[in-house]
Amino acid sequence: MAYYNYLKSLHLIFVITWFAGLFYIVRLFVYQIEAAQKPTPEKEILQKQYQIMAYRLWYIITWPSAILASIFAFWMLFFTDLGKSWLQMPWMHVKLGFVFVLYLYHAKCQQIFQQLQQNQVKYTTNFMRLWNEGATIILFSVVFLVVLKNAFNWIYGVIGIFLFSVTIMLGFKFYKKIRDKNAS
């Protein structure tokens, strides 16, 4: 059991750093998109700096964290008795479904990262702000599943974070209208 707890601790540490990387990379995407709209030479200076920051975050923190979190998770699930028993539980199947969605989210961030590294802006800052909520919803879903260990009760937590996200976005739109009105 002590062996399992070390694996679990390492898994949690790398899940936390993985999510930190995912949250911050999308914020850097917002900054890169905003920099693309600046006049020269500010545009080139900011783009170069944000590309360096994004590169370091993505390849020094986010990718290694994703890989290590996955290694420790697979190790726990397939090479420990407790993990093997959890694979029989319905809540774990739902959790693994969310983990699969997280990998898809990560892959899409990789695609956006590569585009922005080549100064290709294909999304708006508003899209990126909404996109950032995807990782939040996945995180809440997985945490509620793991803590409650129930395949269905996690829905209440996700509905709560979804409603919270909608409220934040409405507040953002309201603030933007006020800011634009005061600017003119």
d(CA 145, CA 153): 8
Does 122 belong to an annotated binding site? no
Does 106 belong to an annotated binding site? no
d(CA 158, CA 168): 15
Q: Around Cβ 57, how many Cβ atoms within 10 Å?
A: 19
Q: What token pair was written down for 104?
A: 């898809």
Q: Which amino acid is at 97?
A: G
Q: Point out the annotated binding site for heme.
A: 11, 95
Q: Point out the annotated binding site.
A: 11, 95
